Structure 1
Amino acid sequence: MINLSKSLNVTNISWDINKEPNPCLWKGVGFKSPSNSSVIQISLSWVSLSSSDFLPPVCQIESLHILDVSGNHLSKIPSGFLSDCGKLDGLKLLNFSYNNLEGSLPVFVGFAGLEFLDLSHNRLSGAIDLELDGLVGLRSLNLSLNNFTGSVPTRLGKSKVMKELQLSMNKFHGIIPVDIVGYHNLTLIDFSANNISGSVPDRIGELSKLEVLILSSNSLSGEIPQSLSNITSLTRFAANSNKFNGPIPAGIAKHLRNLDLSYNTLSGSIPSDLLSPLNLQTVDLSNNRLNGSIPAALSQSLVRLRLGSNSLDDVIPTAAIAELKRLTYLELENNTLTGLISPELGYCQSLALLNLAQNQLSGSLPMELGKLSHL
């Protein structure tokens, strides 16, 4: 710790052996227990660090479990740090997010105990091949918001224990590799805001522990896989702003809380059971080519329902909507809905936004809408 303090020259972190001779009291230093002074955590986040010279001395702390240097101005990870800290089997978490790291992804050799690696919000670039393949225990990888190119990486630790994979806001292209289903423990996949194309592998339904799947803002096409309805743990599915076509698979929202399929070219009618699952809170199907009527079977948990800019017709199922006490946003604009605007909408006391514009509704505007105090 003394060597480390000498290599740090930061005004807003006071690691001064003369002012405070006990490192246990230094800000950002964590110890195993009050009776055990082994350093297990170094947290130097958001302290305006610009030089990486302090990093190699960190590796002299053999008991280290956690290193967090996020939110600084670091432009590189020294090779000495990678070679020396790779020998620390107890190191579990590395957080270099929100820095200015440039160049290609470093090769991680060793790091046998590393479980969490966060390199998001940097300027790293190039393709990813085998740089992370040696990380046998990696469970969480966040490479979001960089400039990575090439295909979606699948060599992410030989033991395939990955649970969270975040690759959003890069320049990855090509298809979603079917090899991804080999990571059976995945609970979170975020591939949003890349240039990924092709169809979603039907075998994605084999990821039985998946809880969140975000594919938004890519160039994905084809039909949405029916196999997603087999994932009983899936609570959020976002595939908006792609080129998906064909019908919405029946049963896809069976276990969901949040569903976003907006801005695609989906067609056909809305499945009669799509909006009814008990836990369903938000649904966005706007800006597609859906037709037919709005299903009357609606979840009591719905907070937001967006069905605008489609070709939906028939009357609004107002009696069912009136039962939705939590409904805050109801957006049905730019369809061909007919009939009256029912006074029963006045029972939706939580409504903050009601958009019925550009339809073929008729009759008078019910005065009961004036009772909606949050509108």
Structure 2
Amino acid sequence: MWDRSADSWSGVTCKDGLVVGLDLSDESISGGIDGSSSLFKLEFLRSLNLAFNNFNYMAILLSLANLSLLENLNLSNAWFTRQIPAELSRLRKLRTLDLTYLYSLKLEKSSLRSLIGDLGELRELYLDMVNVSAEGSEWCDALSSSVPKLEVLSMSYCSFSGPIDASLMSLANLSVIRLRSNNLSTTVPSFLANFSSLKMLHLGDCGLQGEFPQKVFQVQTLQNLYLSSNELLKVFLLDFLEDSSLETLVMYGTNISGRIPDSIGNLRKLLLLDL
């Protein structure tokens, strides 16, 4: 149905008579798609959402790289598989890239740097469940040198290791850091408290050790903190700020020491507390 006020049909957005947005998410699309599809003739397309469909374990098509004006690409939960084509790096206007929960998607033959190296406009990167297979500071270096405007980093279950390198500090706009269930096996760096816009920090089940830096609790913008299932991580609860923004604090399965301070009553916005 045509929506005159939005200049669009349901799932289709037009501007000046051209299709610039296509949202086919959760439309029960099944089977394959090939490079000759009329989809790839929409040369003015800026947003493409194919999430929550079943593309039957086919590879991500190289033809997507020809949609050079794309700013938002969402293929999450769409049953693509195999390698992520490095050709996606040609989508230099991308601001959001979501390849989450495709289960057997890999970056083994290429690298994180080859995928994002030319995506300097990227604001949001979602690669949860993608096998990145990066070691040490390699993934931090790739991010810090490639996507300086990044605001959301979501790379849970990506099979990479630690440490969390200081080069990540160059991503000054980060507001969401989700690294759940990677084998970081490292201490939590205190520089995480320097992200002045940080709203979510999820480091659950990462093999963390040492003492969690108190300064992170005092990041005024922080709303959600997850540290669960890090048995070697020592957490001391000291003073909480009166103007704290914390809404979620999850720390079960960590080594919490000391008494719970009276200042926990300062967490007036708290919705979930799990110790």
Counterpart in the other structure of 2:203: 307
Find the counterpart in structure 1 of residue 152 from structure 2: 258
Determine if contact 2:223/2:245 at 8 Å carries over to the other structure.
yes
Equivalent-residue separation in structure 2 for 1:277 and 1:173 (angstroms): 30
In 2, Cα distance between equivalents of 1:230 and 1:277: 9
Q: Whole-Å Cα distance in 1 between the matches of residues 8 and 161 of structure 2?
A: 49
Q: Write the mapping of 1:1-16 to structure 2, written as runs, cut at 5 A.
A: none
Provide, for residues 149-186 of structure 1, a one-character-per-residue CA deviation record: whole Å limited to 9, x for no partner.
Answer: 32212224867333333322222222111222233333
Residue in 2 aligned with 1:4? Answer: none
Residue ranges of structure 2 left out of the alignment (5+ in a row): 271-275
Q: CA deviation at 1:369?
A: 1.9
Which structure shows the higher helix fraction? 2
Q: 1:372 to 1:231 in 2, by over 3 A?
A: same
Distance, in Å, in 2 between the alignment partners of 1:329 and 1:322 is 10
Runs of 5+ in structure 1 lacking a partner? 1-27, 29-41, 46-64, 72-89, 94-114, 236-256
Q: Which residue of 2 aligns with 1:5?
A: none
Q: Are 1:222 and 2:133 an aligned pair?
A: yes
With over 3 angstroms needed to count, the CA separation of the structure-2 counterparts of 1:197 and 1:303, relative to structure 1, is closer
Alignment partner of 1:268 is 2:162: yes
Mark the CA change 1:227 to 1:160 in structure 2 (over 3 Å): closer, same or farther. same
2:62 aligned with 1:154: yes
Q: Assess, with a 3 A threshold, how the Cα gap between structure 1 residues 166 and 349 changes in structure 2: closer, same or farther.
A: closer
Q: Which residue of 1 aligns with 2:3?
A: 43
Distance 1:151 1:271, change over 3 A: same
**Equivalent residues of 2:184, 2:207 under 8 A apart:** yes
Give matches, 1:107-146, under 5 Å: 115-129=20-34, 130-132=36-38, 133-146=40-53
- Post-superposition Cα deviations, 1:344-375, rounded to whole Å, max 9, x if no partner, equal 23556322333333333433332222333333
Q: Structure 1: how far apart are the matches of 2:11 and 2:92? A: 29
TM-score by length of 1: 0.57
Residue identity matched to 1:283: I
Give the distance between the partners of 2:235 and 2:119, measured in 1 at CA: 44
- What is the aligned counterpart of 1:182 among 87, 90, 94? 90
Residue matched to 2:18: 92
Instruction: Quote how far apart the aligned CAs of 1:126 are.
Output: 2.5
The aligned amino acid for 1:370 is: G
1:206 equivalent to 2:118? Answer yes
Query: d(CA) in 1 for partners of 2:145 and 2:167?
Result: 15
Structure 1 residue 166 corresponds to structure 2 residue 74: yes
**d(CA) in 2 for partners of 1:144 and 1:313?**
36
Partner of 1:102: none
Q: CA deviation at 1:283?
A: 1.9
Q: How far off is 1:92 after superposition? A: 1.2
TM-superposed CA distance for 1:66, in Å, is: 5.2
* One-letter amino acid of the counterpart of residue 222, structure 2: L
C-alpha distance in 1, partners of 2:126/2:78? 14
Over the aligned positions, Cα root-mean-square deviation in angstroms equals: 3.3
Match of 1:197 in 2: 105
Deviation readout 1:83-112 (Å, 9 max, x if unpaired): xxxxxxx7413xxxxxxxxxxxxxxxxxxx
- How far apart in 2 are the matches of 1:206 and 1:285? 23
Q: Distance in 2 between matches of 1:317 and 1:279?
A: 21
> One-letter code of the match for 1:134?
K
Tell me, in whole angstroms, the C-alpha distance in 2 between the residues paired with 1:289 and 1:157.
32
Supply the AA of the counterpart residue of 1:207: L
Quick one: higher RCO (CA 8 Å, sep 6+), 1 or 2? 2
SS, match of residue 87 in structure 2: helix
Kindly name which structure, 1 or 2, has the bigger radius of gyration based on alpha carbons: 1
How far apart, CA to CA, are the structure 1 residues paired with 2:87 and 2:33?
Answer: 15
User: Which of 41, 52, 68 pairs up with 2:9?
Assistant: 68
1:374 to 259, 265, 269: 269
Range moving further from structure 2, 309-318 or 355-364: 355-364
Partner Cα separation in structure 2 for residue 356 and residue 169 of structure 1: 29
| 1:333 counterpart (228, 232, 238) | 228
Counterparts of 2:70 and 2:235, CA distance in 1: 52
Distance 2:104 2:133 in 1: 13
Residue 131 of structure 1, CA deviation = 0.9
- Name the SS of the counterpart of 1:155 in structure 2: helix
Q: Which of 279, 293, 300 is the matching residue for 2:173?
A: 279
> How many residue pairs end up in the alignment?
253
